[in-house]
Amino acid sequence: MDFPVVDAHLHLWDPTHFRMSWMDGNAVLDRPYGLTEYREHTAGIPIEAMVYLQVEVEPAYGLLEVDWVAARANEDPRIRAIVAWAPCEFGEQSRAYLEALVKASPLVRGVRRLIQGESLEFAVQPRFVRGVQILPEYGLTFDICLKHPQLKNTLELVRQCPETSFILDHIGKPDIQAGLLDPWRSEIRTLASFPNVICKISGMVTEADFRNWTTADLRPYVDHVIACFGEDRIVYGGDWPVAFQASTYARWVETLDGLTGGLSSSARRKLWRENANRFYRLELGSGSL
């Protein structure tokens, strides 16, 4: 990589500090992953800035999670933005939490309320829609994290929130292991028709066969999101350490770099740096090594 990179999807955690029930029994993930480990795993990759994504601590600790990450940013100022949890399903009643959230740290740029563990109807419940509609009033974006069967209803959520800036995490989590492309493919095309949505190319290896995935398995999915969203609306994300279950950090970077090698030099910079800088308002400089 001959220019600096923004990792737009970083997780950090310490299960002894915040318990996260979703990782119980996971031999790879159920341990601390902090900045020291991240630096080791990303050695040799010119990462200029990172965006922290919430990690599903218990809701009562959501604001404490922001405080904890802000302290990590004091240790490593490359953490330039935080995407935090918020109870969007409370609709208008989420305002007090959102006000507290933006006061908690100037690094808070967006919200992620996971859809993936909810019902197919969750994304179109009126109170949830309203909770997402009001995010721009607080200067907040929304990271969409779902499983591919939930894409259809999420299209309706996006349609009802034209003022909200969305970024789709993990290209919508298609079933790469099974090689399924439809209806994910058509729904991605429709999602990309909304100008307020961009796509994060991240988290793909954990939707593939953890042990046996190949570059060829990922290619049709990467090609499709680039064709649909275009060079101005695609963003790189490492999804570390979740992706570590299926790949080293370096292998994921090398794989995506190879899959996007046909892009122009300016388009590659947009994917790896510029688009994340713009979307998450990272305020980075010119970006030369």
DSSP 8-class letter at 18: S
DSSP assignments along 146-197, one per residue: --GGGHHHHHHHHHT-TTS-EEEGGGG---TTTT--TTHHHHHHHHHTSTTE
Residue 36, domain member (yes or no): yes
**Interval 93-108: pLDDT, tens:** 999 999 999 999 999 9
Let me know if residue 285 belongs to a domain.
no
Q: Look at residue 288 and tell me if it is in a domain.
A: no
In a domain, 286, yes or no: no
Whether the per-residue pLDDT at 289 is higher than 60: the answer is: no
Residue 117 lies in a domain: yes
Mean pLDDT for 245-252 is 98
Range of the domain at 259: 5-279
What confidence tier does 286 reach under pLDDT thresholds 50, 70, 90? Answer: confident
Number of domains in the chain: 1
User: Terminal CA-to-CA distance of the chain, rounded, Å?
Assistant: 10
Q: Tens digits of per-residue pLDDT, 124-134?
A: 999 999 999 99
Q: Average per-residue pLDDT in the chain?
A: 97
- Provide the percentage of residues in the chain whose pLDDT is more than 70: 99
Contacts of 38 (CB under 8 A, 6+ apart): 10, 12, 240, 241
Q: Does the residue 106 lie in any domain?
A: yes
Residue 42 belongs to a domain: yes
> Could you report the per-residue pLDDT of 42-54, keeping only the tens digit for each?
999 999 999 999 9
151 within some domain: yes
Peptide bond into 195 cis (omega under 30): no
Token pair belonging to 48? 């200029």
Whichever domain contains 170, its CATH number is 3.20.20.140
